[in-house]
Each structure stands twice: as C-alpha cells, then as structure tokens.
Structure 1
Amino acid sequence: MTKVGHIFLIDDDESVLISLARMLRELGYLVEDYASASTFLEKSVPVSPAVILLDMQMPDMTGLDLQEKLLKLGSKTPIIFVSGQSHPHQIVSGLKKGAVDFLFKPFNLDELLKAVADAIDFDGRQLKRISQDVETRRDYVSLTPREREVCGWLVKGLLNKDIAIKLGTTDATIKVHKARVMDKMHADSLQSLVKKFLESDLGSHPLNN
C-alpha cells in the first residue's frame, strides 16, 4: 500500500542510497533517489506533500548549498538533514534556514520514520494553507471597491451604523454590502471573515494601495 507522501532522497554514498530507498519503498513511500545535489536540481520535479532527505556532506554540492539554492528558487518542501559528521554551526545554519530536522548516521529507524512522517504531514498542511490563501485572495479580488471598504471596516470591528457614517451612506445600504461581502468571501460569520482577512494578509493587498 502506497503512503500519501513523496520522499526525495539525496546521498552520495551509493550503499546508503540503495538500502534506504529500498526500505522506504517497501514501507509504501514514493521515493526518488539522487546521488548528488546537482542531479536533484537538474532532474527533480516539485510535488507535494513531500520531504527532502538530504545528506549534509557531499563532494559536488553540500546539503547547505542545496538548501540555499532551493530557498532562492522559492521551494517550500521541508528538508531533513542526515549526516555522519557535521559541525555545530552547520546544524544551526540548516535549522535557521528552515530545515525541519537533523539526524545523525547511523540513525534509529523509528526516529527516521517519525521525522519523515512529521515532515510530510507539515508539508500537507502547508499546501492546504497556500491553497486556502489563493482562494481567499481570489474571492477578495471579486469584491467591488466599495465592498472592499466595507470589508476593511468590518474586520476592524465597526458596526453597520458606524461604517455608514464613515462612508456617508445609510445603515440599510451597508447591510446590503455586508451581505455581499460575506457571500463572496465564503464567510459564514464575522469571526470567519476576520480570520480569512488576517491569515491572507489582505490588508496589504495591492488593491488596497
């Protein structure tokens, strides 16, 4: 049975690469194995949810070098570093730049599988958040300029009558705008609207500038 998740395995040690890839496939993961970081950059295609299981010390390009390149490319796939020997500053640097875990060879199998499962779960939740953000921003763009004004005041906690005064209109008109805002933003409550607005940072949306 195939697990929901993809593993990019990168290690220049052929014996480790073959044995680890075989074991992870037998456990049901979809595994792509690469003998170098440059080959991974050249041939891999981003998928999600996934995790990059990355050897820290490799001759052509170190794990940190690859992490740096992936960050510049905008990759959000979580990275687990694996290493037989690493200096503390390398570990700190990798974790500061977003690596989700660091395992030392020879590692405990249960420890590896937990780290992989956690990273894939994290990437799945990350993908869901990004998808929700795209949908929320698309909904926001569908609002008219006046509806966006009303939305902004609603999020700030103003009542219909107060918004009417701010915009120089009637309470009844604001009620109509509010209903349209809630419908277009797919918000079933004011709390839901505020949550969507803040999580997607709609206050800084280009349409507001």
Structure 2
Amino acid sequence: MSRWIEPVTLSGEHVKLVPMSVEHEEALAAAAADGELWKLWYTSVPEPARTRAWIDAALAMRDTQGAHPFAVIDAKTGDVVGSTRYFNVDETNRRLEIGHTWYAKRVQRTALNTEAKLLLLTHAFEKLNAIAVEFRTHFMNHQSRAAIARLGAKQDGILRNHQVKDGVFRDTVVFSIIQSEWPAVRTHLKYRLEG
C-alpha cells in the first residue's frame, strides 16, 4: 500500500534526519539526558528508562496514522541528538504537522535546528506538495513558541484546555506555514543558515 509520506532520509550540512527505529533507543536516551529534558513539565521528552516505550508509540503512530518519526543526527559528529516527526497527517487535504521535536541541550539554538526545519519543510512543500504545515506547542513553552515564530510560521490561535496531561490542562498554541508563504520562509531560513 502506498502512503503519502514514505520513509525518507533528509540530509544537510549540519543535520541528518533518518527514519527512527528501535536501534536508536540508547542514543535517544543519552540525548534526552543532556539537559534532563524530561523534567520540563510542558514537553513530552521520554525519561531514559522509558525511551523504548516512547519509540514504540512513535512507530505505532507511523504504522496506524501515517506519521514519520525521525532520529536527528548531528552531521558533524554522527551523534543522535534528538527527534522530530511528521504527524497529524491529512493526506486528503495535503496537511501535516511537524512536532514531537526535541534536541539535546548542547545543540539547542544552533544551525542544526534551522536546517532540520528547512529540510522538513522543503520535503513537505516541494516533494509532498503540502498546502499547509502546522506546528503546535504548549502555551507555557515560551522557548518553543519563539523558535517556531523565528522560522517564519504565523500564529493561528490558541486551543484552550486542548489536552489533559497528569491532571493539568494544556492550552495549545497553533502556528502554520501555508504553501504561498513557503518561498519567503525558505529564503529566510537559508539566509539564517548563511549568517
């Protein structure tokens, strides 16, 4: 059966995005430990001991919902430094979301993230012919909100009491880039990488 999003490896100068597998378990656990990312209450980074269950859930989302989880590899060192994913795939309306993104502390706010987003967006708009790509984050995750805005995504709105995690309501901030905005966003991301 053909799917809209087939497994793909995306490579650049700073980053390589490869289809996630159970073989990435140890490396993803080590990446999450850099900064103890699972302690950020508004994110969904796995504790090292729960990394396998987290990977299994990502792969189940791939198999049942058409998502595509990636392991993020630092192209300079070859180290796995995080994860990202295409998900909330709506093939009929050619929409998808980029998310479940996290990086080891040592590579946050580097060219690696900018290039990863450039690769993901280029594939979405130019290979998959997506008409819109969404990004969502917790209202309290100010670092993520600022990073999404720096990409050139526009805020669509806030979904109040959108989800419940551990008895706490989550307000979700929704951003998107639409097909007609992609050329300007692409130019902006390339400019940032050259800087």
TM range, smaller chain: 0.3 to 0.5
User: Structure 1 or 2: larger strand share?
Assistant: 2
Please identify the structure whose Cα radius of gyration is greater: 1
User: Structure 1 or 2: larger helix share?
Assistant: 1
